[in-house]
A = this chain, B = another copy of it.
Amino acid sequence: MTKPTPLSEFRFDPDAEDSYIDSAFVALEIVRLLREGDTDSVAEFLNAQELADVAAYLEEMEIEDALTAMRLLPLHEQAELIGYLRPSSQLVIATRMGRRELAKLMSAMSHDERADLYKQLDEDAQEALLPALSKAEREDLRRLAAYEEWTVGSVMTSDYATLKPGMTAAEALEALRAQALEAETVYTAYIVDDDRHLIGVLDLRDILIARSRQRIAEIMDTEPVFIRAEAEQEEAARMIARYDLIALPVLDREDKLVGIVTADDAMDVAADEVTEDFHKGSTVGPIETSVAEATIMVLYKARIYWLVLLVFGNIFSGAGIAYFEDTIAAHLSLLFFLPLLIASGGNAGTQSATLMVRALATDDVRPSDFGWLLMREALIALALGLTMAVAVAGIGVWRGGPEIAAVVATAMVLIVLFGALIGMSLPFIFARLGRDPAAASGPLVTSLADVLGVLMYFGIASALLDI
């Protein structure tokens, strides 16, 4: 056995093949030291690490060890650390803590993460926790927790920095200084009137640049972009990306400021949306938890619906084959080319659909571009089909003679052309019908291309071979 590496030598190494430290290995070492009673070494090590990394170590430990390790950090770091843990791990830790310790931790947490954790607690735990919090915290919690899962309200946070329009730049800087410990960000500040109506937004950079006596009302942006608390959270993520914002202000129906969505929370929302699009693209339905944590039942339910639906869709392909049974019986060698031809239509179609789904999602193309994109796709598909026809023609001659080769090559061109056009059109049709273009999935395109492929292949065969 090799001597274990001392903790102090674990260090971020940007030149390593895999630049992240193996969390499980570090976790083992931490637990060993904790059980030996060497808490000083562990405390020193953890305090020098990035909190995202500490969270990764804790994920690998048993709950009692994780709690012991966590308690070696100062409270405000614990409060930040818990936000880096998986929701399920947060819940386990919260459940194991005493009521008083949990209340202290939650008071120090950022308001949005606190509300997310609170929502996870069962009713008894919620009831037990509330009296240990301040009145303002209780109200904040209840308010943030009330928003529905998919809304901007459910990802916003209420610990933003505010300024008054009458302040000078110098006063504003002092005001931000006073809010710097509590606020989620002080790099963008929100100017509100006495009724909390949002009347302007100002970046800290502009305060620094301004002359110290200049009034905030003179330099603030009086027509800031904002979003409603009831809007979809994906919309907030899109706006933050589009306008390169640090944070996006959230207003209620009365134009009162109720929260902000920060850029890093928006990145998480955007990543979740991408995951959803990926899943949709292979007919997997929405999954609330992470894939790693999902139960068998959750995954079964997310997958069975489309699988069964597509089974019935494929009956049409079967019926197509049954319709041409006589042609097939007379030329059994045609069957050799069946998988190859129908798969090619599906593959070309899947490519087109994916290109369009992603281009629509990133605003690279718009629904109104459909016309010229279809023309371009027809030319590309024709080129692809002709190339593939050449590739199969040789095999056709070898397996069934020149006549079969002619049938197969002709069918290939048409199948690839129409497969590609179906795949390219479907996302636009879905968008037009007000549905998510991402639902134009590979399997759906493949099923449609299959039916068309069977009909075209055997249709051409019976026309060319039976006469």
Q: Is A97 an interface residue (CB 8 A)?
A: no
Contact: B328 with A343, CB < 8 Å? no
Mask, A339-358, CB within 8 Å of B = 1, is 11011101110110111111
Contact: B275 with A278, CB < 8 Å? no
Q: Is A391 an interface residue (CB 8 A)?
A: yes
| Docked CA distance A354–B325 (Å) | 36
Q: Using a CB-CB cutoff of 8 Å, which residues 306-324 of chain A contact chain B? A: 306-308, 310-312, 314-315, 317-319, 321-322
Q: Is A303 an interface residue (CB 8 A)?
A: yes
Chain A's interface: helix, strand, loop or mixed, by majority? helix
Q: Is A410 an interface residue (CB 8 A)?
A: no
| Docked CA distance A187–B204 (Å) | 9
With A317-B340, A387-B304 known to touch, is A14 a contact of B281 (CB < 8 Å)? no
Contact: B14 with A358, CB < 8 Å? no
Tell me which of B277, B300, B340, B446 contacts A318 (CB under 8 A). Answer: B340
Task: Tell me, rounded to whole Å, the shortest Cβ–Cβ distance linking A378 to chain B.
Answer: 10
Q: Is A121 an interface residue (CB 8 A)?
A: no
Contacts of A52 in B (CB 8 A): 242-244
Mask, A280-310, CB within 8 Å of B = 1, is 0111100000111000100110011011101
A310 nearest in chain B by CB position = B347
With A310-B343, A329-B332, A376-B296 known to touch, is A291 a contact of B387 (CB < 8 Å)? no
Contacts of A338 in B (CB 8 A): 318, 321, 338
Contact: A395 with B315, CB < 8 Å? yes
With A332-B325, A362-B275, A384-B300 known to touch, is A176 a contact of B208 (CB < 8 Å)? yes
| Docked CA distance A387–B317 (Å) | 21
Q: Is A397 an interface residue (CB 8 A)?
A: no
Mask, A364-387, CB within 8 Å of B = 1, is 110001000000100110011001
Q: Using a CB-CB cutoff of 8 Å, which residues 156-186 of chain A contact chain B? A: 173, 176-177, 180-181, 186
- State the interface size on chain A (CB cutoff 8 A): 114
With A290-B359, A307-B384, A339-B450 known to touch, is A346 a contact of B299 (CB < 8 Å)? no
Q: Using a CB-CB cutoff of 8 Å, which residues 201-230 of chain A contact chain B? A: 204-205, 208-209, 223, 225-228
With A223-B48, A454-B339 known to touch, is A359 a contact of B303 (CB < 8 Å)? no
Contacts of A73 in B (CB 8 A): none
Q: Is A392 an interface residue (CB 8 A)?
A: yes
Contact: B279 with A278, CB < 8 Å? no
The interface centre, meaning the residue of A204, A242, A303, A306 with most chain B CB atoms within 10 A of its CB, is A303
Q: Is A430 an interface residue (CB 8 A)?
A: no
| Docked CA distance A186–B204 (Å) | 9
Tell me which of B264, B271, B311 contacts A392 (CB under 8 A). Answer: B311
Contact: B339 with A379, CB < 8 Å? no
A49 nearest in chain B by CB position = B223
Contacts of A181 in B (CB 8 A): 209
Q: Is A442 an interface residue (CB 8 A)?
A: yes
With A243-B52, A274-B274, A358-B279 known to touch, is A311 a contact of B204 (CB < 8 Å)? no
Contact: A282 with B442, CB < 8 Å? yes
With A369-B292, A392-B311 known to touch, is A383 a contact of B282 (CB < 8 Å)? no
Contacts of A284 in B (CB 8 A): 351, 354-355
| Docked CA distance A279–B308 (Å) | 26
Tell me which of B15, B278, B337, B339 contacts A357 (CB under 8 A). Answer: B278
| Docked CA distance A183–B176 (Å) | 21
Contact: A311 with B344, CB < 8 Å? yes
Contact: A291 with B359, CB < 8 Å? yes
Q: Is A92 an interface residue (CB 8 A)?
A: no
Q: Using a CB-CB cutoff of 8 Å, which residues 6-21 of chain A contact chain B? A: 11-12, 14-15, 19
Q: Is A87 an interface residue (CB 8 A)?
A: no
What would be 14 A-B contacts, judged by CB atoms less than 8 Å apart? A12-B223, A48-B223, A187-B204, A241-B271, A275-B358, A277-B278, A284-B355, A307-B347, A307-B384, A311-B392, A318-B336, A318-B340, A328-B335, A343-B447
6 additional A-B residue pairs with CB within 8 Å, beyond A267-B267, A314-B343, A335-B335: A14-B251, A300-B383, A307-B347, A315-B340, A325-B335, A343-B447
